[in-house]
Amino acid sequence: MFLLPGLVITLSVTGALNAVLSEEHKKEMCRYINNHQNQDGEWGLHIEGPSTMFGTVLSYVTLRLLGEGANDGQGVS
């Protein structure tokens, strides 16, 4: 979980995001991140970790770079 945001952010900064990742890959990465969202709507630094602001920001920025809108995803139920 912690390495995926670094990969996506690096690809975005270097301008290689769309060249390296297909739309299907981006969709599955978003699904992976959303599936590991904690009950409180936030993310931890790893898939079983407690929610942290840092983990939440990394995951949110990654989702936005992968094409999700501000109101897309699961959110808090």
Tell me the pLDDT of the chain (77 aa) as tens digits.
Answer: 789 999 999 999 999 999 999 999 999 999 999 999 999 999 999 999 999 999 999 999 999 999 999 888 765 54
Contact of 1 with 62, CB cutoff 8 Å? no
Report pLDDT for 77.
Answer: 46
Task: Map out the domains of the chain as residue ranges.
Answer: 3-65
CA dist 65 and 45 (Å) reads 18
CA dist 67 and 53 (Å) reads 21
Q: Look up residue 23 and give its two tokens.
A: 């739309």
